């Protein structure tokens, strides 16, 4: 188990931080950028959960996603690639695929782009989508330099798809979506 006795350790005052293996690295390094972006995504999912308190099934799944994002952080905090210690595997990915398919089946096809908006929950789901995409870009940059669990990228990619489909679900399965029109129109 994890035990945190002190939050303010002052060891990061020099611009470095500890990784899961105890090594120190710069706070602006690729690995820390990826970890930070995943942490931001987790926080945004938490905001979405607070907006959806009445929808227990979606909120419960978002809780599973939050735990999965924490597991992704656990994978990213350790340099190198050691398959026996990976925390994230194909299970969350498969659940995201299933959820996307289930929600999409109730939504009409799109003939326009969708703008963030409609309900507060849908707008926040779009924020989740964009922050997850940023996390994905940071992990791609890290993976170009060092080995990364391949399920991390696949899960982040699918999570952004899920957030988009969820936004439509929260807008009455797309019937209340805010559709894009040319600004010059």
pLDDT single digits (tens) 55-67: 688 999 999 999 9
pTM over 0.95: no
Whether 97 has a pLDDT exceeding 70, the answer reads: yes
Reported as a pLDDT band with limits 50, 70 and 90, residue 81 is low
- Minimum mean pLDDT among 11-20, 21-30, 111-120, 168-177: which range? 11-20
Per-residue pLDDT at 185: 66
**Stretch 28-55: mean pLDDT:** 93
Enter the CATH code of domain 24-78+86-103+115-174.
Answer: 1.20.1200.10
Greater confidence (115 vs 20) lies with: 115
Beta bridge partners of 24: 18
Nearest to 24 by CA among 34, 13, 36: 13
- Which tokens in the block code for residue 19? 């990784």
The whole-angstrom separation of Cα 69 and Cα 82 is 19
User: Taking the domains of the chain in order of start, what are their residue ranges?
Assistant: 24-78+86-103+115-174
Whether 82 has a pLDDT exceeding 70, the answer reads: no
Question: Tens of pLDDT along 162-177?
Answer: 999 999 999 999 999 9
């Amino acid at each position: 188990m994890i035990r945190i006795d002190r939050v303010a350790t002052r060891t990061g005052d020099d611009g470095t931080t500890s990784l899961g293996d105890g090594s120190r690295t710069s706070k602006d390094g690729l690995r820390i950028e990826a970890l930070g972006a995943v942490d931001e995504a987790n926080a945004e999912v938490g905001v979405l959960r607070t907006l959806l308190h009445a929808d227990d099934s979606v909120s419960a799944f978002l809780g599973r996603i939050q735990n999965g994002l924490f597991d992704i952080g656990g994978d990213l905090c350790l340099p190198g690639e050691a398959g026996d210690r990976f925390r994230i595997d194909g299970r969350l990915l498969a659940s995201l695929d299933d959820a996307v398919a289930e929600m999409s089946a109730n939504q009409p096809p799109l003939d326009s782009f969708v703008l963030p908006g409609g309900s507060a929950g849908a707008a926040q789901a779009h924020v989740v989508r964009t922050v997850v995409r940023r996390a994905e870009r940071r992990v791609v940059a890290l993976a170009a330099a060092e080995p990364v669990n391949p399920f991390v990228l696949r899960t982040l990619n699918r999570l952004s798809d899920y957030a988009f489909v969820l936004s439509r679900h929260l807008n009455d399965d797309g019937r209340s979506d805010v559709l894009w029109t040319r600004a010059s129109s």
